[in-house]
Amino acid sequence: MIRRVLTVAAAAALIPLWPVAADATSHARFATFNASLNRNAEGQLVGDLSTRDNAQAKVIAEIIQRTRPDVLLVNEFDYDADGKAARLFQDNYLSVGQGGAQPIGYRYRFTAPSNTGIASGLDLNNDGNVVTTPGAPGYGDDALGFGAFPGQYGMVVYSRYPIDERGVRTFQKFLWKDMPDAALPDNPETPEPADWYSAKEQQVVRLSSKSHWDLPVRIGGRTVHFLVSHPTPPTFDGPEDRNGRRNHDEIRFWADYTQPGRGGYIYDDRGRRGGLGQGEPFVIAGDQNADPNDGDSYQNAIRQLLDHPKIDSRSAPSSEGAAEAAALQGGANATHKGDPKYDTADFADTAPGNLRADYVLPAKRLKAVGGGVFWPPAADPLSRLSGVFPFPSSDHRLVWLDVNP
């Protein structure tokens, strides 16, 4: 049985210190932030957040306080079954003004298990060894999702608006093989197709490297489905491209889920089948680890969402800081095809360079009225929060979009 943690906490008075929605009474700000609040050992994040003096958590909290999202996905936030880390981050960091910013309170939050660091008991990387000891070399490659321990690189959602707990759907256990025409990896040393994973392994291998969640958020008199995930990076593998192909299909999941007639094969962790209903409003968010023009994606994976008939991808958040960084850092950035102002992640200058990896994508029936990427230019005093390597916060930037639900 999957344990989910959905809590209600006291809200605080809010004072904007960064661009906010034009009309806070009619627009909601949705955001995603790969905050790199992952740790090397189980329980370490809880320990770090138990006090109010963790330098990285303070910076992450200040970025959130200055952008003030209404509904926020945080990727790379280690999961614990009691939701203690999520509560401590609110109580000790978000609820405390950081660097001159005003506290921000989220009355609702949601977290659930992640496939990361769960031992599969199988040799999923085909190196001849089955590693089942958390933290041991090769353990992450044989786990259901890469991770040194169960829950590493998990995620959490904070919301000012109620989350309909009864309507929540999680898809942690959906098997990759059950996606029609799945891009399962092939062992290049054999003549059989799509055989990197044996028949036995295909009965165990899950599609989500972390999970996929459908969280119905009640905004005024309407419900908007917040569809969140964090597909695996399309790298760290071999010619079989198992991570690239998994990234592609993790992104495809939402493309099928939001297209009537294409999501009938999908089942959630409670056994309910089917995708999103016709005409239901949604916002897709997360670190998709895929750029539309550059990087190592399999078959231009993110285009499955950007070119989707039900998704509005015209309002692409951007920043002055991203364009400035690409010009100053050079390297791989100088060869990129995409406009650097849309980058959301500051990666190695040698390869792959900075990329657009993080997205907030609304349904076409929702009206996008603004958005941005928290990547201030060097001359802005707030650039201290994003910084340069080694980053004080994360190598990703918070991305937001204001929509009229």
The token duo for 113 is 């298990």
- Over range 67-80, report the average pLDDT: 98
Q: What is the pLDDT of residue 405?
A: 86
The rounded distance, in Å, linking the Cα atoms of 187 and 175 is 19
- Over range 24-37, report the average pLDDT: 89
Q: What is the DSSP string of 340-379?
A: GGG--B---TTTT-SB--EEEEEBTTSEEEEEEE----TT
Instruction: Convert the pLDDT of each residue in 102-138 to its tens digit.
Output: 999 999 999 999 999 999 999 999 999 999 999 999 9
Q: Is the pLDDT of residue 24 over 50?
A: no
> What kind and span of H or E run contains 34?
strand 28-37
- Taking alpha carbons only, the member of 156, 170, 171, 79 closest to residue 117 is 79
Instruction: Convert the pLDDT of each residue in 271-290 to its tens digit.
Output: 999 999 999 999 999 999 99
Contacts of 113 (CB under 8 A, 6+ apart): 2, 3, 79, 81, 150, 151, 154, 172, 211
Q: Is the pLDDT of residue 339 over 50?
A: yes
- Over range 228-236, report the average pLDDT: 98
Q: What is the pLDDT of residue 202?
A: 98
